[in-house]
């Protein structure tokens, strides 16, 4: 549970009593590679902390699937629309490896938010951090060429690159696998 604990603590400092209330709501689940943990068009009523494994978020485009996020140990899997608005999300999230996760039901989390200001602040910080990551990703896609985004990915998550199929990385960068191969050859 160390990766999950580190993730929770990194979001906002919680007193031990509040941390224990949150931890009490977590349920360990093991799911296989290829499992869709979040499905587009469905209201998802839980979020997940990745203890071990890798996941990707994608949307179905007209002719292909477009990957826009990768997560690994310590990251959180959730549908933003479901979490914030209780409406169906646009994304699907697939596990790229067998994963050990900690599930937190949204209803239980909302009850904690309503009864403990410190946990509500933790939730606010979680939303703020997700917003910042989303904004950074969006700006990167607008202003950086694919080669530069690939180098950024190599620098920020070098182990992640080794665990993800090249087709998903190419989709994430918005290029074909052939172009990604050229980028990789240039960098070596």
Return the pLDDT at 45: 94
pLDDT at residue 176 is higher than 80:
yes
Mean pLDDT of 85-111: 96
Query: Would you place residue 59 in the very low, low, confident or very high pLDDT band (cuts 50, 70, 90)?
Result: very high
What ranges do the domains of the chain cover? 2-143
- Closest by alpha carbon to 81, among 51, 125, 39, 140? 39
What is the radius of gyration, based on Cα positions, of the chain?
17
- The count of C-alpha atoms lying within 13 angstroms of the C-alpha of 156, restricted to the half-sphere facing its C-beta, is 12
Query: Would you place residue 161 in the very low, low, confident or very high pLDDT band (cuts 50, 70, 90)?
Result: confident
Report the percentage of the chain scoring pLDDT > 90: 68
Return the pLDDT at 37: 97
Residue of higher predicted confidence among 62 and 72: 72
Separation CA 28–CA 141 (nearest Å): 35
Check if the beta carbon of residue 38 is closer than 8 Å to that of residue 89.
yes
- Closest by alpha carbon to 159, among 38, 73, 50, 36? 73
Return the pLDDT at 16: 96
Report which DSSP code applies to 41: T
Question: Which of 34-43, 49-58, 144-153 is least confident?
Answer: 144-153
Separation CA 188–CA 186 (nearest Å): 6
Q: Which fold has domain 2-143?
A: Jelly Rolls (2.60.120)
Return the pLDDT at 62: 82
Check if the beta carbon of residue 31 is closer than 8 Å to that of residue 97.
no
Return the pLDDT at 42: 96
Q: Cβ atoms within 10 A of the Cβ of 142, count?
A: 7
Check if the beta carbon of residue 162 is closer than 8 Å to that of residue 125.
no
Return the pLDDT at 63: 82
**Cα–Cα separations (whole angstroms), residue 19 to 5, 73, 84, 100, 175:** 9, 19, 22, 20, 42
109-157 pLDDT, tens digit per residue, is 999 999 999 999 999 999 999 889 888 888 877 788 889 989 988 888 8
Residues 6+ apart with CB under 8 A from 157: 70, 72
Query: Would you place residue 53 in the very low, low, confident or very high pLDDT band (cuts 50, 70, 90)?
Result: very high
Whether this model's pTM surpasses 0.75? yes
């Amino acid at each position: 549970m160390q990766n999950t604990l580190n993730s929770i603590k990194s979001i906002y400092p919680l007193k031990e009593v509040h941390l224990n209330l949150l931890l009490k709501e977590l349920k360990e689940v093991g799911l296989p590679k290829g499992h869709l943990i979040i499905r587009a068009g469905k209201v998802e009523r839980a979020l997940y902390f990745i203890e071990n494994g890798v996941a990707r978020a994608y949307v179905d485009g007209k002719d292909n699937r477009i990957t826009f996020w990768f997560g690994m140990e310590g990251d959180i899997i959730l549908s933003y629309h479901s979490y914030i608005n209780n409406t169906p999300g646009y994304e699907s999230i697939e596990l790229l490896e067998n994963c050990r996760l900690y599930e937190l039901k949204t209803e239980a989390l909302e009850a904690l938010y309503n009864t403990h200001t410190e946990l509500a602040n933790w939730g606010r910080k979680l939303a703020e951090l997700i917003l910042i990551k989303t904004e950074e990703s969006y700006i990167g896609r607008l202003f950086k060429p694919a080669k530069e985004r690939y180098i950024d990915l190599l620098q920020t998550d070098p182990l992640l690159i080794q665990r993800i199929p090249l087709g998903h990385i190419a989709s994430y960068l918005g290029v074909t696998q052939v172009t990604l191969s050229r980028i990789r050859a240039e960098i070596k």
